[in-house]
């Protein structure tokens, strides 16, 4: 496994993950599949070079930022790598935000170039007042654009095919990864060029054993670094391939793409796994092409893990990572996973569960997770106080609560600020949620603290049921939890809902759920 010292001092992400395939004779292999379009590595390398030259023509220079706000496709991948090749700093955002959200990202990144498409163009036009970024527009003719906007489609044909990579080093900042914003405004985790390469070596190779015959299908969109890395970086590191699609992700779309392209790896999140298991046609699906399904982004309950394996027969490799550490740093291993845990430390990393004083707690006790490794971010951009609390050299102090067992497997117990004090005892909502999801009548659930008539905190469960909820089902679910957990962890009541609020990454949006609870919706 490569380490930091093994890396060349001069290191460019595009050269490492794209051009190297041509140098090693893999130019004719498929790199990317989008609909009916198959792009080889040789074709992708040419597109990357032209996209990089287009960005340079627009004035983007090494060390400056480019913001991508466009749907998944060949253009997304080519522009991302084109920016990397000229040494620019890439940052990506979701394509279904509101103008006020885009205004925040424009103000925060001060990007010189913003890449948009038909979906985001009008929204970003409304957000861009007072900003001087050039809009590079994909999929819209030049005659429909305004001053300060350029057509990517019309600039690409005349852009040169040759592009000399910028002399970026392994320590140069080239990637911003945004936090999800589930506990505040998103912040950029600042990463140097070495982060994706070392993460590829540690996780993609060291855990997943990703190889040249792997074809990766992502459930999340490519703006989410978890999906982008596993689809359009890590497979490229070994000559494998990824699948991208512009449409919003639905269960039917994922089933269709699996049937059509027969991928070997499905990049998934628990919310979609639950929806796939609950789909009326789940039993009819043939997922035998998949050698594994990754899960990350939020905790995977053991009950849902079992439902998935029983329904589809596909192994799940659950893990945890973060923008702060670039990618996955604790993960189960193919062939030796333990449902209900996020696994063991990824090669090249170490982890401790510590108390408030920073001292390691005994195995079996809850504490805060502290991770040390080669891909920990340099800082939160523009947030020195938060940076000082979180980053300590190559050590990341998370706000996640964990338990480590004597065998070295870690189990998630929620966020420190999610904990409920019930009857004087701290309770992790995730423990109750993981219990509830094991019941066959539950599709999704979330637990929050609710003040009862006496002003005391009690757990309240919001449940998305199979079919309709009822008083009888509520009683069944409460007894189900009572049989598994301590009495004070039993939800005071159960509220049946049609859906739960989600972040752009598909995670449960606990902040939004708290607002709903405070407003008394469903009370």
Which residue among 191, 224, 259 closes a domain?
191
Q: Which tokens is 318 given?
A: 């659950």
Q: Is residue 339 part of a domain?
A: no
Residue 484 near residue 435 (C-beta atoms within 8 A): yes
Distance CA 79, CA 52 (A): 7
Confidence of residue 515 (pLDDT cuts 50, 70, 90): confident
The stretch 284-294 carries a mean pLDDT of 98
- The closest of 180, 148, 442, 199 to 301, measured between CA atoms, is 442
Contacts of 129 (CB under 8 A, 6+ apart): none
Beta strands 395-404 and 367-372 are antiparallel
Q: Is residue 446 part of a domain?
A: yes
Q: Which of 149-153, 157-161, 450-454 bottoms out in mean pLDDT, i.e. has the lowest?
A: 450-454
Measured in Å, how far apart are the chain's first and last C-alpha atoms?
A: 54
**pLDDT given at position 424:** 62
The stretch 266-279 carries a mean pLDDT of 92
Number of domains in the chain: 2
Q: What is the pLDDT of residues 454-490, one digit of tens each?
A: 666 789 999 999 988 999 999 999 999 999 887 889 9
Residue 42 near residue 24 (C-beta atoms within 8 A): no
Question: What is the DSSP code (8-state) at residue 157?
Answer: G
Residue 388 predicted with pLDDT over 50: yes
Which residue among 191, 222, 247 closes a domain?
191
Q: Per DSSP, what are the bridge partners of residue 370?
A: 352, 397
Residue 70 near residue 175 (C-beta atoms within 8 A): no
Contacts of 214 (CB under 8 A, 6+ apart): 235, 238, 240, 241, 264, 265, 291
Q: Is residue 11 part of a domain?
A: no
Q: Which residue has the tokens 């990703």?
A: 210
Q: Is residue 307 part of a domain?
A: no
Residue 447 predicted with pLDDT over 70: yes
Q: Per DSSP, what are the bridge partners of residue 462?
A: 446, 495
Confidence of residue 522 (pLDDT cuts 50, 70, 90): very low
Which residue among 191, 207, 223 closes a domain?
191
Q: Which domain holds residue 441?
A: 419-518
Mean pLDDT score of the chain, rounded to an integer? 93
Confidence of residue 184 (pLDDT cuts 50, 70, 90): low
Q: What is the pLDDT of residues 113-130, one digit of tens each?
A: 999 999 999 999 999 988
Q: Is residue 174 part of a domain?
A: yes
Question: What is the DSSP code (8-state) at residue 359?
Answer: P
Confidence of residue 519 (pLDDT cuts 50, 70, 90): low
pTM (predicted TM-score): 0.86
Q: Which residue has the tokens 């990007």?
A: 111
Q: Is residue 397 part of a domain?
A: no
Q: Is residue 286 part of a domain?
A: no
CATH assignment at residue 478: 3.30.300.30
Q: Which tokens is 79 given?
A: 């522009």
Q: Is residue 322 part of a domain?
A: no
User: Residue 109: which H helix or E strand, with range?
Assistant: helix 99-109
User: Residue 312: which H helix or E strand, with range?
Assistant: helix 302-312
Q: What is the pLDDT of residues 46-102, one digit of tens each?
A: 999 999 999 999 999 999 999 999 999 999 999 999 999 999 999 999 998 899 999
């Amino acid at each position: 496994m490569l380490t930091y010292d093994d890396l060349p001092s001069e290191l460019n992400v595009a050269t490492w993950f794209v051009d190297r395939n041509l140098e090693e004779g893999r130019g004719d292999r498929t790199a990317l599949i989008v609909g009916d379009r198959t792009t080889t590595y040789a074709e992708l390398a040419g597109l990357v070079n032209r996209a990089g030259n287009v960005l340079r023509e627009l004035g983007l220079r090494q060390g400056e930022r480019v913001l991508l706000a466009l749907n998944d496709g060949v253009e997304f991948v080519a522009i991302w790598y084109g920016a990397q090749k000229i040494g620019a700093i890439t940052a990506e955002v979701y394509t279904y935000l509101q103008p006020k959200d885009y205004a925040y990202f424009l103000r925060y990144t001060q990007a010189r170039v913003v890449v948009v498409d038909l979906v985001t163009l009008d929204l970003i036009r409304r957000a861009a007042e007072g900003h001087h970024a050039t809009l590079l527009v994909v999929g819209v003719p030049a005659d429909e654009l305004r001053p300060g906007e350029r057509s990517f489609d019309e600039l690409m044909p005349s852009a040169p095919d040759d592009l000399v990579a910028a002399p970026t080093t392994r320590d140069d900042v080239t990637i911003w990864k945004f936090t999800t914003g589930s506990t505040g405004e998103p912040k950029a985790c600042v990463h140097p060029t070495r982060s994706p390469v070392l993460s590829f070596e540690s996780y993609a190779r060291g855990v997943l054993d990703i190889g040249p015959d792997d074809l990766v299908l992502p459930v999340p969109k490519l703006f989410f670094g978890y999906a982008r890395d596993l689809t359009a970086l890590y497979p490229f590191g070994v000559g494998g391939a990824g699948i991208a699609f512009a449409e919003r992700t639905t269960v039917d779309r994922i089933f269709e793409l699996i049937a059509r392209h027969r991928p070997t790896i499905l990049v998934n999140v628990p919310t979609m796994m639950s929806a796939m298991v609950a789909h009326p046609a789940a039993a009819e699906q043939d997922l035998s092409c998949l050698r594994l399904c990754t899960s990350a982004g939020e905790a995977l309950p053991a009950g849902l893990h079992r439902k998935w394996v029983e329904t589809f027969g596909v192994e799940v490799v659950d893990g945890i990572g973060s923008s702060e550490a670039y990618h996955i740093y604790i993960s189960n291993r193919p062939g030796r996973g333990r449902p209900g845990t996020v696994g063991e430390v990824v090669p090249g990393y170490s982890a401790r569960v510590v108390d408030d004083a920073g001292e390691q707690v005994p195995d079996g006790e809850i504490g805060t997770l502290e991770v040390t490794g080669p891909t920990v971010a340099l800082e939160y951009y523009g947030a020195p106080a938060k940076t000082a609390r979180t980053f300590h050299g190559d050590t990341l102090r998370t706000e996640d609560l964990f338990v480590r067992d004597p065998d070295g497997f870690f189990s998630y117990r929620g966020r420190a600020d999610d904990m409920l004090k019930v009857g004087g005892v701290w309770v992790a909502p995730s423990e109750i949620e993981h219990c509830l999801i094991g019941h066959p009548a539950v599709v999704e659930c979330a637990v929050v603290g609710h003040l009862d008539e006496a002003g005391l905190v009690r757990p309240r469960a919001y449940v998305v049921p199979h079919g309709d909820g009822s008083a009888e089902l509520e009683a069944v679910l409460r007894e189900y939890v009572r049989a598994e957990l301590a009495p004070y962890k039993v939800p005071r009541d159960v509220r049946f809902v049609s859906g739960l609020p989600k972040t752009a990454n598909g995670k449960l949006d606990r902040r939004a759920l708290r607002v709903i609870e405070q407003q008394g919706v469903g009370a």
